Amino acid sequence: MKTYKAIFKREFQSYFATPIALIFLTVFLILTGFFTFKLGRFYDQGQADLRLFFTWHPWLYLFIVPAVSMRLWAEERRSGTIELLLSLPVGLMEAMLGKFVAAWAFVGFALVLTFPMVLTVWYLGSPDLGVILAGYVGSFLMAGAFLSIGCCISALTANQVISFVISTVICLVLILLGFDPVTDMLAQVLPGFLVAQLVNLSFPYHFEAIQRGVINLSDVVYFVSLVLFFLFAGVIIVERKKAD
């Protein structure tokens, strides 16, 4: 546990040791406001809720989260510090969790900084705070799923750009599977039951219900399962690289 805490602290502090944190947080908050108020035309909706705010989160995470996760293992390989890390009396899963949770906490901090959005809808009307809280919970879980994919891919390569691109492509596929034009196209070449299973793998499919305030166990299990699957895959990749 002490080793895990040390890795977590080291990784979390590393974001603030450089301008990375400021750049990420600034870009995230600017894009959040742009998508919600400009593209989403928030004030034209005439509703005091954060539905439009959460609708854009998968697209925000598509580029921002891989940018956060691409350095987790790739930087260790590039700088050669991975050999030092793996020589310490620390389990690979412990190291993976320490890095992942640190990045997840950082993204969670960025989400907390969007609290002015809550104040805005509170000023404009009487929003359902339960629905808003559920939206934040769902968004945080979805961010964890994005991060786990990025963490796994980062363990695969020493090149941060390659890690970013591959992670973004995988996450994009998991987003597009939930869109009607894509499912309609798939329905033309694949059996209906297979299309339904592919849709069930998409981020929007499971996030949509949560952002409406309905937290189903199946949706939570989906995000948690993705996190566990890709973290375990990442551990296997690091183990094989270690053996090489």
Query: What DSSP line would sit under 66-77, residue for residue?
Result: HHHHTHHHHHHH
pLDDT in tens, 8-64: 888 888 888 878 788 888 988 898 888 887 776 766 666 667 888 888 899 999 989
Residue 217: both structure tokens together: 């166990």
In angstroms, rounded to a whole number, what is the distance separating the alpha carbons of residues 221 and 161?
A: 31
Predicted local distance difference test score (pLDDT) of residue 84: 63
- The residues, any chain, with a CB within 8 Å of residue 134's CB and separated by 6 or more, are 210, 211, 212, 213, 214, 215
φ/ψ (deg, to 5) at 167: -60, -45
Predicted local distance difference test score (pLDDT) of residue 205: 87
How crowded is residue 243: how many other Cβ atoms within 10 Å of its Cβ? 6
φ/ψ (deg, to 5) at 179: -100, 140
3 state DSSP class of 90: coil
pLDDT in tens, 197-233: 888 888 988 998 888 888 889 999 999 999 999 999 9
pTM for this one?
0.89
The half-sphere exposure of 189 on its side-chain side, counting CA atoms within 13 A, is 4
Q: Which residue has the tokens 């069930």?
A: 200
Q: pLDDT higher for 101 or 238?
A: 101
pLDDT in tens, 91-147: 778 888 888 999 999 999 999 999 888 888 887 777 778 888 999 999 999 999 999
Residue 166: pLDDT band (50, 70, 90) is very high
Buried/exposed 196-232: b ≥16 CB within 10 Å, e otherwise = eebbeebbbbbbbebbebeeeeebeebbeebbeebbe
DSSP secondary structure string for all residues of 14-56: HHHSSTHHHHHHHHHHHHHHIIIIIIS-HHHH---S-HHHHHT
Query: Which range is least confidently modeled, 38-52, 148-162, 188-202?
Result: 38-52
pLDDT (mean) for 152-175:
90
pLDDT at 175 > cutoff 60: yes
Residue 89: pLDDT band (50, 70, 90) is low
